[in-house]
Amino acid sequence: MKKLFGILIIIFLFSSVVYAGSKLIERDTIGRAFSVRTICVDGYKFVTTRDTDMNATSVSIVQFYVSKKDKVIPATCN
């Protein structure tokens, strides 16, 4: 019985549900098979790219940064 309670406690401690609000800011297509999107996730900008070629699909996401007063900081959504 102690093992069961221990296992349940460990499961509850290490499992969590996380929610991040996101919205699409801008969408653009380059050619027929390449799309670029700027999204806002929890107040920070990210750029996602998607390339859907005939034989492969690749997705990339990169955080947007800006330079302010000789420091590089993450860009925020306005």
In tens digits, the chain (78 residues) has pLDDT values of: 888 888 888 888 787 777 778 899 999 988 877 889 999 998 999 999 888 666 667 888 999 999 999 999 999 997
Could you give the CA distance from residue 12 to residue 22 in angstroms, rounded to a whole number? 26
Could you give the CA distance from residue 69 to residue 77 in angstroms, rounded to a whole number? 19
Per-residue confidence (pLDDT) for residue 23, from 0 to 100: 92
Q: Are 44 and 75 in contact (CB under 8 A)?
A: yes
